[in-house]
Amino acid sequence: MCGIAGFWQLTHHDEAANRERLEEMNSTLTHRGPDEAGYFLQGPVGLANRRLSILDLEGGRQPVFNEDRSLVVVYNGEIYNYPELRRELEAKGHRFTTRTDTEILVHLYEEHGTEMVSRLRGMFAFALYDRHRGELFLARDPFGIKPLVYAELPSGFVFASELRALLTWPDFPRDIDLEAVHLYAAYNYIPAPYTIWKAARRLPPGHWMRVRAGRVLEIRPYFHIQGESRPDTAEEAVERLAQVLRDSVRAHLISDVPLGAFLSGGLDSSLVCALAQEALDQPLRTFTVTFPEWPVYDESRYARRVAQHLGTHHEEIPVTAREAQDALIDIVTHLDEPFADSSLVNVAIISKAARQHVKVVLSGDGGDEFFAGYNKYQGLRLAERLSRFPWKALVQAGSRLPWPERRGSRFGERVRQARKLARLFHSDAFERYYRATLAAEPELHARLLALDGASPDLPRRVLQEVWKAVHARGFREVNGWLWSDVAFVLPYDMLHKVDTASMRHSLEVRVPLVDVEVARTVAGLPGEWKLRGLERKWILKQVAARYFPKEILERPKGGFGLPIGEWMRGELRSLFEEHLFAEPVIWRSEIIRRLWMEHQERRRDRFWELWNIFVFEMWRRTWKPNL
């Protein structure tokens, strides 16, 4: 796991100056790779790497070259099928000088050119310089587990793992992309190709790009999965899925440093831990954070039960209110782009705790999107069925239910779900999905932003493009919802959150459920085997039943939350007021004040809207963009 950065200069070829710029870019990524720094500089081209050493600790330094040094690569990630690829390449005469997976990339490019990315099983973002052709080749893994951003500037082409490295470049303009602001306000995150900066773009998952003479030549997708059901029986499908999951977890265990796993006690993390423990000859180290002061948010009892059943070496890390609040401020201040999924704070807390013991952890991310784990899918199914009838009175009644004063109660969650369901009643399938995916009500989003020069309809159009592409590949109904989320929510929210929070603390998180072979298997399964009636993750539960008794599998689905909405009314009230009411340039201040008073007086829970604004304003104060 690492951070990468680099450039192709057009205007300045002073070697000392270029070296200084490359080092400055790389220094911003030290948190991603604290173990060592590596550089390549030849003429106008510079490549840099910050390394978190996981494989071949002594010999795996980057940049890495091929035999005649005509190819050089910097890389962030892990290639899990590198042992098989290495044997294949050695049989064809390629000579290796390290044991690291990084070296696979240069030899595979020699053999297959740009088609090499289709051979990789793993998470990755890399930049490879072909000195003979005079080209840079950059690529990102199929699901967007690892980030890659870039900019074409008057002075040349620059790229990096994180936006903060691009901002060191002298002619990088700090102008906000107003279209990205609309997307952020609607979804809490910014999807590719947009970034918060007008000058910078994000390479989409499953794409590669070629650069020559400081300019982008082409960007192409290389990864697609078709939605076509296979004629397996349910029993055969469960057996095949169990095997591919077992293979994926085993592949993800490759490491030369201590390895563990996050364990929440939910289905996804529990199954990943069970498969990992099955493959190991010693107890797996598992980690759970506990919140003794907030029992409603503390799921440690579920994790403890799973750990005892599996026999893992389990550690519970208690977190106080003060520690959690400090973590909130730290991770939000660290953001180099607005991102308002509040569970980022929780992932940062558990990443910091786990990093005291291991360098690598497995997590269960991706299970909800691949196997229909969110309440959202139940809501879509109900809305799909009920929308066929004239339920106008029911919709109106649901939308008028009083908002619960306090988050976390069972009654409050039922009211919240009823209101969400009411807004999904629509005859158009995409409109239902769009409203289920939004973080904010579209009407409020339009009133809240005080922007000129960007279309408030952009969030709908961007998601509709994803929807159309997914359905064009044969995904329908339940699978249409899931694969739209795999293409949109998974990379830009869930995986971005995990990368940001874990890399803040120099921890590598691996996601064995987000794997190309798992994806190909899951794509062929009927949607009814994932959402069976209103039962979520039906087929994944059939696999998990091989490892766990019924009482573990049937625990209620929990969230990974903190009482941030309550902190807005209490311990952190002054912090929120400072950022919400000090020069809210892009927001209508009168609406912010109304939302704030509704929340303070418990007339309505406005946590999500206020958190979105707060994160943006914290980011704006830190990075000082032009508005």
In a domain, 488, yes or no: yes
Distances (CA, A) of 419 to 53, 402, 407, 606: 48, 9, 14, 14
Using the 8-state DSSP alphabet, how is residue 449 labeled?
A: B
Q: What are the tokens at 197?
A: 């900066």
Structure tokens at 615: 């994160």
Asked if 127 contacts 95 with a C-beta cutoff of 8 angstroms, the reply is no
Alpha-carbon gap, residue 399 to 421, rounded angstroms? 9
Comparing C-alpha atoms, which of 555, 94, 495 is closest to residue 299? 555
pLDDT band at 145; cut points 50, 70, 90: very high
Question: Residue 221, Cβ neighbours under 10 Å: how many?
Answer: 12
pLDDT one-digit tens code per residue, 332-349: 999 999 999 999 999 999
- Within 8 A by CB and 6+ apart from 582, the residues are 617
Q: Is-contact 267 275, C-beta < 8 A?
A: no
Same domain, 151 and 84: yes
Task: Give backbone dihedrals phi and psi of 45, rounded to 5 degrees, phi first.
Answer: -105, 130
Shared domain check, 154 and 100: yes
Instruction: Mark whether 571 and 544 lie in a shared domain.
Output: no
According to the model, what pLDDT value does residue 119 have? 96
| Bridge partners, 314 (sequence order) | 286
Q: For residue 68, give every residue at least 6 positions away whose Cβ sits within 8 Å of its Cβ, in sequence order, or none.
A: none
Query: In this structure, are 280 and 365 located in the same domain?
Result: yes
Q: Which helix (H) or strand (E) holds 343?
A: helix 343-355
Instruction: Say if residue 500 is in the same domain as residue 567.
Output: no
User: Which are the catalytic amino acids?
Assistant: 2
Question: Does the residue 347 lie in any domain?
Answer: yes
Q: Give the pLDDT confidence of 173-231 residue by residue, as tens digits.
A: 999 999 999 999 999 999 999 999 999 999 999 999 999 999 999 999 999 888 877 76
Q: Is residue 466 part of a domain?
A: no
Examine the domain organization and report whether 354 and 260 are in the same domain.
yes
Instruction: Please indicate, yes or no, whether residues 186 and 261 belong to a single structural domain of this protein.
Output: no
The amino acid sitting at 111 is E
Domain harbouring 271, CATH code:
3.40.50.620
* DSSP for 147-208, written as a single string: --EEEEETTEEEEESSHHHHTTSTT---BB-HHHHHHHHHHSS--TT--SBTTEEEPPTTEE
Q: What is the pLDDT of residues 495-536, one digit of tens each?
A: 999 999 999 999 999 999 999 999 999 999 999 999 999 999
Q: pLDDT tens digits for 241-275?
A: 999 999 999 999 988 788 999 999 999 999 999 99
- Domain tally, the chain: 3
Residues 245 and 190 reside in one and the same domain: no
Same domain as 614, residue 522: no
Question: Considering the domain boundaries, does residue 459 fall inside one?
Answer: no
Q: Please give the mean pLDDT across all residues of the chain.
A: 90
C-alpha 472: how far from its chain's center?
Answer: 25
Q: Of 553, 584, 607, which one is at a domain's C-terminal end?
A: 553
613 and 509 both lie in a single domain: no
* Same domain (yes/no): 154, 289: no
- Residue 373 pLDDT: 95
pLDDT at 99: 87
Domain's final residue, options 518, 553, 588: 553
Is 388 inside a domain boundary? no
For residue 606, the enclosing domain spans: 563-627
What is the Rg, in whole angstroms, of the alpha carbon atoms belonging to the chain? 24
Beta bridge partners of 590: none
For residue 366, which phi and psi values (nearest 5 degrees)? 100, -20
3-state secondary structure 271-334: HHHHHHHHHCCCCCEEEEEECCCCHHHCCHHHHHHHHHHHCCEEEEEECCHHHHHHHHHHHHHH
Does the residue 433 lie in any domain? no
472 inside domain: no
Token output for 19: 């070296």
- The tokens of 474 are what? 């044969």
pLDDT band at 390 (very low <50, low <70, confident <90, very high): low
Q: What mean pLDDT do residues 556-563 have? A: 68
Strands, DSSP E only, in 475-546?
Answer: 508-510
CATH number at residue 182: 3.60.20.10
Assign residue 114 a region (left: φ > 0; alpha: ψ between -120 and 50; beta: otherwise). Answer: alpha
Same domain, 86 and 174: yes
SS3 state of residue 223: coil
CB 363 within 8 A of CB 276: no
pLDDT value at residue 456: 75
Query: What DSSP string describes 96-121?
Result: -S-SSTHHHHHHHHHHHGGGGGGG--
CA distance 317 to 356: 11
Residue 303 placed within a domain? yes
Higher pLDDT, 52 or 19: 19
User: What's the predicted TM-score (pTM) here?
Assistant: 0.94
